[in-house]
């Protein structure tokens, strides 16, 4: 997966996230929709992390293809 693929996936996930949020404005989401929204949010965080890893590896002269998707437990516990 190259940077363009990661950016494309981020765009797809962001679109899905926005659709879920907009489709139930004022009425709330079902348990299934909340679960899917959470999964989308985690996948987005993982994709952004992967893109940052790839860019950092490239900037430091390393192979960006060695970057790997990190587990949810790692990306969801970053301090912002």
| pLDDT score of 76 | 87
| pLDDT score of 59 | 97
User: Percent of the chain at pLDDT above 70?
Assistant: 98
The pTM for the full model equals 0.88
| pLDDT score of 79 | 65
Residue 33 inside a domain? The answer is yes
Residue 53 inside a domain? The answer is yes
Residue 80 inside a domain? The answer is no
The total number of structural domains in the chain stands at: 1
pLDDT in tens, 15-52: 999 998 888 777 888 899 999 999 999 999 999 999 99
| pLDDT score of 26 | 76
In this structure, what token pair is assigned to residue 50?
């992967």
Do residues 76 and 48 make contact, with C-beta atoms less than 8 angstroms apart?
no
Cα–Cα distance, 73 to 1 (Å, whole number): 22
Contacts of 21 (CB under 8 A, 6+ apart): 37
Residue 36 inside a domain? The answer is yes
Full domain range(s) for residue 53: 3-75
């Amino acid at each position: 997966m190259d940077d363009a693929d990661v950016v494309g996936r981020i765009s797809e996930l962001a679109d899905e996230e926005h659709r879920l949020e907009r489709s139930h404005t004022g009425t709330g989401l079902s348990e299934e929709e909340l679960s899917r929204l959470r999964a989308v949010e985690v996948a987005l965080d993982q994709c952004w992390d992967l893109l940052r890893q790839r860019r950092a590896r490239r900037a430091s002269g390393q192979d960006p293809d060695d970057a790997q998707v990190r587990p949810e437990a790692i990306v969801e516990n970053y301090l912002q």
